[in-house]
Amino acid sequence: MSVLRGPARLILKSLGWKLIDLPQRPAKAVVIAYPHTSNWDFPLTLLALAALPYGAQWVAKDTLFRGLMGPIMRGLGGVAVNRRERTGFVERVADEFRHREDFHLIIATEGTRSLQPGWKSGFYRIALAAGVPVVMATVDYEKHEVGLLATITLTGDEATDMAQIALCYEGRRGYRHEQASPIRLL
């Protein structure tokens, strides 16, 4: 991906996007992506990953990995998740964090691009189980910013942790901002 760094930065800049990054990234983290309200979030995120460069993997529904798209999605860093049934995904990913020295996994907290009553809790449970911090990432269409915002270490106090996350995302707008789900766990 480092070969793509220059071209990705040039594309983002020519499209009017500002790339944002942390002064220092943790070696391991669950990276949460919010808001996720458009299919355009995906290509902008891939450009940001290449531009930073950032070797993070990302989670998507398993149906996107069917047929010819499977190898392409996995080659781009995708990890398929079956959202229709319990598969032990949280524990498997937490175990993956324990066995790697450097691992970042991006999760769209809303689980879909449409308005939901809140966020899926998988990211929270994975970060606590693995003992890794959470990095907040965004594609902000109003400010034309894409990248990493901040890092927090979860306390296990859901209300406190979610309030801190909400503060970080304050003022961030998705492409269809009315579709952004409230920042609270379901």
Per-residue pLDDT tens digits of the chain, which is 186 residues long:
578 899 999 999 999 999 999 999 999 999 999 999 999 999 999 999 999 988 899 888 888 899 999 999 898 888 888 767 777 889 989 998 999 999 999 999 987 888 999 999 999 999 999 999 999 999 999 999 999 999 999 999 999 999 999 999 999 999 999 999 999 999
Q: Are 34 and 138 in contact (CB under 8 A)?
A: yes
- From the list 57, 32, 121, the residue with the least C-alpha distance to 65 is 57
Beta strands in 44-174 (DSSP E): 57-61, 78-81, 103-108, 134-140, 145-152
Which pLDDT score is estimated for 122? 92
CA trace torsion 58, 62, 67, 71 (10° rounding): 20
Which pLDDT score is estimated for 86? 76
Q: Is residue 181 part of a domain?
A: no
Which pLDDT score is estimated for 71? 92
Q: Is residue 167 part of a domain?
A: yes
Which pLDDT score is estimated for 1? 57
Q: Is residue 155 part of a domain?
A: yes
| Domain extent for 45 | 2-174
Long-range contacts of 13-17 (CB under 8 A, 24+ apart): 16/144, 17/44, 17/47, 17/144, 17/145, 17/146
DSSP type of residue 118 = S
Q: Is residue 96 part of a domain?
A: yes
Q: What is the count of structural domains for the chain?
A: 1
- The size of the chain, in residues, is 186
Q: Is residue 130 part of a domain?
A: yes
Question: Cα–Cα distance between 18 and 28 in angstroms, integer?
Answer: 25
Token representation of residue 62: 């398993």
In angstroms, the Cα distances linking 8 to 17, 31, 114, 140, 172 are: 11, 20, 28, 17, 23
Q: Is residue 186 part of a domain?
A: no
Dihedral sign for Cα 168, 171, 172, 177, please. positive
Q: Is residue 179 part of a domain?
A: no
Q: Is residue 138 part of a domain?
A: yes
